[in-house]
Structure 1
Amino acid sequence: MGRSVSLTARLALLFAALTASLLIVVGVVLGRAVEAHFRELDAHEIAGKLSLIENLLQRTTTAQALATLPQRLDDAFVGHAMVALLLRDDEGSVIYALQAAHFPAAQLAGEMLPAGVAMWEGGGQQFIGREAVFPMPLSGRPVRVLLGLDISHHARFLDQVRTRLWFGISGAAVIAALLGWFAAHKGLAPLRRVTATAQRLTAERLDERLSEDDAPSEVRELVEALNGLFERLEQSFQRLAEFSADIAHELRTPVSNLMTQTEVALSRARGTDEYREVLASNLEEYERIARMVSDMLFLAQTENGKLPGAVETVQLADEVHALIEFYDALAEEKGVRIAASGDARVRGDRLMLRRAISNLLSNALRHTSQGCTVDIDIAHADDEVVLSVSNPGDTIAPDQLARIFERFHRAGPDRHRHGEGAGLGLAITRSIIAAHGGRVTVKSDAGLTTFLVTLPVAGRA
């Protein structure tokens, strides 16, 4: 396939075509106006000559005047080389002729011209003519007057005007094309800068941005959209790099543990119980790796929109009480109470919503001080349902709150020591809630951390 015409060339050609079309219309209108003006002048000239002839005939009232009529006609038309004249009596006899050879042969033979103004060509010249009948006062008989007018000079002038118009239109179209190309080239400069910036973009140079100051209004939205795209690309690449580093960091510990324990076990011969202990320890590390891989696969599914949609009405209070029973032993071991209040119905996948709430409750139990209470509250707010999970404990720093839902992120080393989680639970919770059309936020102040889950009510989901 051949190379397509550039946008600059297309705009230049379009500008030239529009200019040429406009000039053609103007030229046609102007040409017809000039032609109509010449026709009007010629008709006026013929009418004037016929009036002159009629006046001379009306003054021919005597035999002497009739004898001098040819001389008077010659005198009247002295210097009128463009005029042809033929006078016939009622019997068809020619009584006066002036440059009669300019008339067509049919009129010379006595045939009358068509009514009105007639046109003909002869000898490379163009003529218009008119035939009239005037009475002769002396005899009372009619006289046929055939008058012709050479309009070749008018035709040549019109041809010259048309030729010059075409040359002028062609030159103007070329100039318009050049000006259009220049204007389009300057106007599309922001697009060329967009192309140049996009060509410079690499995985290592995602911080390039387009300038919006000199961009015209028609291109500014495109520039803003592309800058937003570059921003999202940079953030995505940054998250991908951080995610890869986090995966390597998280997998390094269990893999290192497995290698160390295996090397120690193989360093010398051991008994059956010792090998069983090593295998049990390795199994714990394998389970940790398996949970981490499963969680990462789950997050990948949420990013690709493969989570199931809302399929049933979920009674949140029932799910919360079921989770309280499940975590009751762990809470008792840690010396922590769990209190729940409120109820509401939402539309969604029961197992996924239970997993999201379970992650929040598990996180709260890990970080709640002994002897304190984890409060779970369900309430209505306008057309939404708000489920809050609050636990007293260490306050999360404000700079960590914005990143707490990121993968593998922990609010601090002190919180990392509280459990063996990989840092994916809150990221999974956010993905599940987002898949149900809701949102999850967190606030931490004065030793109290509260996670707020907002979901549409059952009728709006």
Structure 2
Amino acid sequence: MGIEKRARRPTSLAVRVTVLVGLATTTMFLLSAWSIEHSIERHFARMDLAELRAAWASVDAALRRDRISTPNPAQSQGLADAMAGSHGVSIVIRNADGRLLYKTVTPDLDALVRQVPATANLNLDALHIWRTSHHVYRGAVLRSGDKTVVVATAIDFHLQYLRKLQNALWAGTLVASLISVLVAGLAVRQGHAPLRRISARMREMTTERLHTRLDPAHVPIELADLVAAFNAMLTRIEQGFARLRHVSADIAHELRTPVTNLRTQTQVALSKARDVDAYREILYSNLEELEHMSAMIGDMLFLAQAEQSSVRRDASGIDLNAEICGLFDYFEAWAEDRGVRLELGGQAGKVDGDREMLRRALSNLIANAIRYTQHGQSVHVRLSQDERWVKIEVCNPGTSIPAEHLPHLFDRFYRVDPSRQRRGEGAGLGLAIVKSIVEAHPRIRLVRMSLPPLAVSCRRRFAPRDVPQPIRVIQDELNPDGALENGCHANLGKLDVNT
């Protein structure tokens, strides 16, 4: 298998924001420069149009008055007098045959006649620009009766001004864009200062300072959710470290008693010579302690695997009646020895789920119920179902657990009365394993406890047999912490299974 390609780091937020602001401001400046240039260019065109209209009005009036049809010096003087007030305007007049009737001292303007048709109205749409060898003109080809008149004015000064203005606008746009990018970069850096301060505070966090929290009130509102999420993560980590410390202490405490017993019994056995039966009795006693330790270590290993989600889960159809009857057969001899009756009531259909995990959870509940049920009493397992749920309740009689112990019933090694640690009662991991199964299985979730009567509940939702997807988990009214190997409870447990 080849080495996976390393994921590309996303572009810096500061770079992205700065580039975006720079593009936006540059675009705005470019549009502003184009608008200014276009507006001034239109203004010059209107100025030229006004000047050409004044000259055209005088020439048209003279042509209609003098009825010029052939070249005539006297009439040409009249046209020159009409053009006297129009400085900078050039004119060419030809008759219907194309003969030149009059022209000002100007380069050849006849090229415009060959390029555009004549019109009777002088407006912006009639104006055209063309170049000669030395100048640039704006003009129009007009009709006055049967005559063709070309009026034009040089716009070199206007174009020169526009070129200078254009250079100034583009230079200003470039400078303004660079300044805006610089300011945007500084603003983004300043805006990220709270993030840098938060990062510095986070780097100060150590396992000895997990109690420290960031104050959401001292950060911008945009970062309040981040700070709240970080504080929540710290709380979970702190709780995890606390549980780890407690578990380590509990394991040491639980192992100390059997190890001490083994050492004491071995020392006693070695203190003097004994017969074979005495050694055999000591070895059996040691074996019992070793089996107790082995069972506890196996339970701890299962809990660790469940927390790491390494427990294999295989979904299959489960016949709940058959499973519970099988568990009753398994516990029957022990229950008879303790004088406890096992009773199953109700019916339930098949559900989809992990058979081994459900069996182990039910086994722990039933075992706890048998262990803490008085002689002559009964353990009841009741099945019921509706359109959505199959419910499995494991109930036994007993005294109520004090309310202060309820939040800890699913903790490892927890007992309501620590002095009641007797041989055969287990290590206090029964409901801790049930809780781990519930949390490890994607379709199981513990719900809250209700009083009275006392009921330790967990709800298991299954998809219908023909629906393969997992089902959402819901949570009711129980603090899902604790273990129930404590000798005093009423309803031991309930599993709700969605059909």
Task: Output the TM-score relative to the length of structure 2.
Answer: 0.75
Deviates more, 1:16-25 or 1:318-327: 318-327
- Three-state SS of the structure 2 residue aligned to 1:59 is helix
Specify the alignment match of 1:43 in structure 2.
Answer: 49
Q: Tell me, yes or no, if the aligned pair for 1:366 and 1:418 is still in contact at 8 Å.
A: no
Q: Tell me, yes or no, if the aligned pair for 2:51 and 2:86 is still in contact at 8 Å.
A: no
**Offset at 1:151?**
0.9
**Offset at 1:409?**
2.0
Q: 1:89 to 1:336 in 2, by over 3 A?
A: closer
Q: Within 5 A, what are the aligned runs for 1:118-197?
A: 118-121=128-131, 125-132=135-142, 145-185=149-189, 187-197=191-201
* Count, aligned residues: 445
Task: Tell me, in whole angstroms, the C-alpha distance in 2 between the residues paired with 1:210 and 1:389.
Answer: 45
Of 382, 396, 402 in structure 2, the residue corresponding to residue 397 of structure 1 is 402
Q: State whether structure 2 residue 372 is matched by structure 1 residue 362.
A: no
Task: Tell me, in whole angstroms, the C-alpha distance in 1 between the residues paired with 2:185 and 2:342.
Answer: 75
Q: Tell me, yes or no, if the aligned pair for 1:197 and 1:208 is still in contact at 8 Å.
A: no
**Offset at 1:362?**
2.1
Task: Tell me, in whole angstroms, the C-alpha distance in 2 between the residues paired with 1:200 and 1:345.
Answer: 56
Q: Within 5 A, what are the aligned runs for 1:295-444?
A: 295-303=299-307, 304=309, 306-316=311-321, 318-347=322-351, 348-380=353-385, 383-417=388-422, 419-434=424-439, 435=441, 437-440=443-446, 442=449
Structure 2 stretches of 5 or more lacking a match?
1-5, 118-126, 454-487
Of 230, 236, 251 in structure 1, the residue corresponding to residue 234 of structure 2 is 230
Specify the alignment match of 2:12 in structure 1.
Answer: 6
**Offset at 1:260?**
3.3
Deviates more, 1:425-434 or 1:169-178: 169-178
Task: Tell me, in whole angstroms, the C-alpha distance in 1 between the residues paired with 2:10 and 2:318.
Answer: 56
Deviates more, 1:84-93 or 1:382-391: 84-93
Q: Tell me, yes or no, if the aligned pair for 2:361 and 2:434 is still in contact at 8 Å.
A: yes
Q: Tell me, yes or no, if the aligned pair for 2:112 and 2:130 is still in contact at 8 Å.
A: no
Q: 1:81 to 1:127 in 2, by over 3 A?
A: same
Specify the alignment match of 1:279 in structure 2.
Answer: 283
Task: Tell me, in whole angstroms, the C-alpha distance in 2 between the residues paired with 1:392 and 1:251.
Answer: 31
Q: Tell me, yes or no, if the aligned pair for 1:395 and 1:444 is still in contact at 8 Å.
A: no
Q: 1:456 to 1:420 in 2, by over 3 A?
A: closer
Q: State whether structure 2 residue 95 is matched by structure 1 residue 54.
A: no
- Three-state SS of the structure 2 residue aligned to 1:311 is strand
Larger radius of gyration: 1
**Offset at 1:189?**
4.8
Deviates more, 1:35-44 or 1:111-120: 111-120
Q: 1:358 to 1:54 in 2, by over 3 A?
A: closer
Q: Tell me, yes or no, if the aligned pair for 2:340 and 2:378 is still in contact at 8 Å.
A: yes
Identity %, equivalent residues:
36
Q: Tell me, yes or no, if the aligned pair for 1:86 and 1:146 is still in contact at 8 Å.
A: yes
- Three-state SS of the structure 2 residue aligned to 1:422 is coil
- Three-state SS of the structure 2 residue aligned to 1:207 is coil
Q: Tell me, yes or no, if the aligned pair for 1:60 and 1:66 is still in contact at 8 Å.
A: no
Matched AA of 2:496: L
Q: Tell me, yes or no, if the aligned pair for 1:331 and 1:337 is still in contact at 8 Å.
A: yes
**Offset at 1:21?**
1.2
- Three-state SS of the structure 2 residue aligned to 1:392 is coil
**Offset at 1:433?**
4.3
Task: Tell me, in whole angstroms, the C-alpha distance in 2 between the residues paired with 1:5 and 1:383.
Answer: 49
Q: 1:111 to 1:216 in 2, by over 3 A?
A: closer
Q: Tell me, yes or no, if the aligned pair for 1:433 and 1:455 is still in contact at 8 Å.
A: no
Task: Tell me, in whole angstroms, the C-alpha distance in 1 between the residues paired with 2:398 and 2:451.
Answer: 9
Task: Tell me, in whole angstroms, the C-alpha distance in 1 between the residues paired with 2:438 and 2:73.
Answer: 121
Q: Deviations over 1:376-426 (max 9, x none)?
A: 333336622333333333432222222211222222314434744112111
Q: 1:455 to 1:59 in 2, by over 3 A?
A: same
Task: Tell me, in whole angstroms, the C-alpha distance in 2 between the residues paired with 1:325 and 1:144.
Answer: 121
Task: Tell me, in whole angstroms, the C-alpha distance in 2 between the residues paired with 1:22 and 1:174.
Answer: 13
Q: Deviations over 1:27-64 (max 9, x none)?
A: 3244334323433432343233123223233333699x
**Offset at 1:149?**
0.8
Q: 1:95 to 1:383 in 2, by over 3 A?
A: closer
Structure 1 stretches of 5 or more lacking a match?
136-141
Specify the alignment match of 1:139 in structure 2.
Answer: none
Task: Tell me, in whole angstroms, the C-alpha distance in 1 between the residues paired with 2:200 and 2:268.
Answer: 58
Q: State whether structure 2 residue 38 is matched by structure 1 residue 32.
A: yes
Q: State whether structure 2 residue 231 is matched by structure 1 residue 252.
A: no
Q: State whether structure 2 residue 207 is matched by structure 1 residue 203.
A: yes
Taking only aligned residues, the RMSD between alpha carbons, in angstroms, comes to: 3.8
Q: Tell me, yes or no, if the aligned pair for 1:113 and 1:130 is still in contact at 8 Å.
A: no
Task: Tell me, in whole angstroms, the C-alpha distance in 2 between the residues paired with 1:267 and 1:33.
Answer: 114
